[in-house]
Amino acid sequence: MQKRTWLMAAAMLASVAPATAQTIYPLNRAEILEGSRFDFKVEFPNAPASADVKVTINGKAVNEAFGREAQFVQNEEGQKHSALWLRGAQLPAGQYVIEATQGNDKATVNWTVYATPERKAKNVILFVGDGMSVAHRTAARILSKGWEQGLYGGELAIDDMPHMALISTSGTDSIVTDSANSASAYTTGHKSCVNALGIYCAKNALTLDHPKVETISEVIKRKRSGMAIGVVTNSEIEDATPAAMVAHTRRRSDYNDIVKMFFDVQPDVIMGGGSPNFLPKSTPGTKRTDDQDFIAKFKEAGYALATTKTEMNAAVAGGSKKLLGLYNTSNIDGAFDLRLAKKGSISKFPDQPDVVEQTKAAIEMLKGAQDGFFLMVESARIDKYSHSLDWERAVFDTIMLDNAVKVAKDFAGDRNDTLIIVVPDHAHPISIIGTYDDDRPGQLLRDKLGTYADSLPPNYGPRDADGYPTKVDTSRRLAVAFGSYPDTCDTGRPYLDGERVPAVKGPDGKTNVANEKDCTLPLATRKQGNLPFDANSGVHAGDDVLLTAMGPGAERFRGHKPNVFVFRVMAEALALGGK
């Protein structure tokens, strides 16, 4: 707030004061783990000389406060600002006031650097349900546990946990976040901006030059040689959430750089899709633009390689402790396609593990680590299928997350040494509004919608042993509404022929129009979009999300917390603070 007030004051003095203020990174109110590394940067508008500016930390000169020499860059990158840099700074616990003075203007930020108490947990397992909102959860419970007279047939593993908190997910730049900076908040404890990972968004031109903050993987690698790290997802391994474990970039789509960052940090278990960015550019099917062969590099570094579920299980059975598992060129297919529809890329990749099987394998490989492990598991396509307004697929992947959490809970058992956290990274605007009943009178989709007293329970087919309904295209189905959409045609039915494509690009190459393929289906209802014309799918919501947790350290979660607090709880549980 302080900064904003200052900006307004500056704007009022526009004729004499610079148009923008000095910016200090980390930003105001940052909470920093004691001893964790961060790049300190101050940007001064109008490219002043070193002699014209002054920066103090608790009243001391920068060099003295950090015990190292800062660099001053006048006219950085030819831009109209100067910069003071100190890369890889570390501070002891305490309260810090940083002041940057330029002429008559002074910018001030406050940081809290916190120590961590005695170690409470040997292991931490962080489950991220990408985009998982309350309606996904409720629908997953209805589908997988059943519903009768207002009560469910059982509890989800993600619900049956003693601690809970409401988590806010905004980044530094906007109300509604994306999966890059929201995951980065969990893995670094610092907020960032849309599309960014492991950095503060400064004025730098190159995506890899922005001021970095240390990820939990890097802290663990630096401080705890006996601890193992796992990163498991069903998205491409370079995608935002898994990348947040290792990456520092302003642009999440720097996939080729992110592969290198995985190699630099070397988490012990790495599993997901997205193999093309590991292959040298001479290999057909690659997406690299250089000749680096990261498959070979990981093998040389002692990793077993698995490209199928069979190979994954063989690696586990063979006692591998380091595994690179790449099971698809793109995202791993979701539970709906793996089990029911068999669309997506199932024909090309018939032996992909799901998130539950990956989680089992990862825990099996990590659990022997002498000083414990940190495992991040993402069910990524809850979000992706919600973007495409394909709620059945999103909810199947919520059930899949729940089953993966069950595996972790079975491992944790009575050990009392494993902190398990289940948290979405952001919400989608999704709600259950009733049920579609084909037997209701009328010719239109809206005639078939039963609301309130008419929202009779769905008649999905019997559930299999893992809690997934075996038939979803039945006569009475949940009616799930998305609050944001492009021009599209709703059908009120599951998309058995493949993931829904709600809109396609129009002839101008910019505006998106309804996917006519859906508009001819029975009961299809044409809907005018409520999003800007360049949107082709649903968008994230700024709503808070629900975190549940159990195990040592989980008691810290209560009430409402910012997303960066999740990092703090994990760092405290593992006692990662200190010089």
Partner 1 sequence: MISHRPHLLPTLSRRGLLTGLAVLPVSLRALAAEAELLTFDGLYKSFGVLGFQFSDRATALRGKPVRMIGYMAPPLKPESHFFVLTREPLAICPFCQSDADWPVDIVVVFMRAATPMVSAGQKVAVSGRLEIGSSTDAETGFVSQIRLVDAGFHSV
Binding site for partner 1 (CB under 8 A): 178-180, 195, 205-207, 236, 239-240, 251-257, 275-276, 279, 281-289, 295, 307, 326-330, 348-349, 388, 498, 501-510, 512-513, 515-517, 534, 536-537
Contacts 24+ apart (CB under 8 A), 76-79: 76/43, 76/47, 76/203, 76/204, 77/203, 77/204, 77/205, 79/47, 79/203, 79/205
CB of 89 within 8 A of CB of 66? yes
Q: Residue 300 is encoded by which pair of tokens?
A: 């040389």
Whole-angstrom distance, CA of residue 389 vs CA of residue 560: 28
3-state DSSP assignment of residue 240: helix
Cβ closest to partner 1, residue 155 vs residue 290 = 290
Residue 335 Cβ vs partner 1, minimum distance, rounded to whole Å: 20
CB of 243 within 8 A of CB of 251? no
Cβ closest to partner 1, residue 172 vs residue 537 = 537
Whole-angstrom distance, CA of residue 106 vs CA of residue 239: 39
Whole-angstrom distance, CA of residue 32 vs CA of residue 268: 26
Give the 3-state DSSP-derived string for 524-578, with helices as H, strands as E and coil as C: CEEECCCCCCCCCCCCCECCCEEEEEECCCHHHCCCEEECHHHHHHHHHHCCCCC
3-state DSSP assignment of residue 180: helix
Cβ closest to partner 1, residue 455 vs residue 512 = 512
3-state DSSP assignment of residue 364: helix
Strands 105-114 and 228-236: unpaired
Cβ closest to partner 1, residue 352 vs residue 359 = 352
Residue 414 Cβ vs partner 1, minimum distance, rounded to whole Å: 39
Residue 23 Cβ vs partner 1, minimum distance, rounded to whole Å: 20
Residue 424 Cβ vs partner 1, minimum distance, rounded to whole Å: 17
Residue 324 Cβ vs partner 1, minimum distance, rounded to whole Å: 11
Residue 251 Cβ vs partner 1, minimum distance, rounded to whole Å: 6
Cβ closest to partner 1, residue 259 vs residue 569 = 259
State the CB neighbour count (10 A cutoff) for residue 510.
9
Cβ closest to partner 1, residue 540 vs residue 556 = 540
Whole-angstrom distance, CA of residue 565 vs CA of residue 182: 12
CA-based nearest residue to 169, from 506, 443, 454, 541 = 541
Cβ closest to partner 1, residue 240 vs residue 355 = 240
Cβ closest to partner 1, residue 267 vs residue 502 = 502
Q: Residue 87 is encoded by which pair of tokens?
A: 């890369």
Cβ closest to partner 1, residue 462 vs residue 507 = 507
Cβ closest to partner 1, residue 92 vs residue 350 = 350
CA dihedral 565, 571, 576, 579 (to 10 degrees): 0
Residue 445 Cβ vs partner 1, minimum distance, rounded to whole Å: 21
Residue 495 Cβ vs partner 1, minimum distance, rounded to whole Å: 13
Residue 259 Cβ vs partner 1, minimum distance, rounded to whole Å: 10
Residue 204 Cβ vs partner 1, minimum distance, rounded to whole Å: 10
3-state DSSP assignment of residue 391: helix
Please give the sequence-ordered ranges of beta strands (E in DSSP) within 90-204, or none if there are none.
94-102, 105-114, 123-129, 147-148, 151-152, 163-168
Residue 172 Cβ vs partner 1, minimum distance, rounded to whole Å: 17
Cβ closest to partner 1, residue 227 vs residue 312 = 312
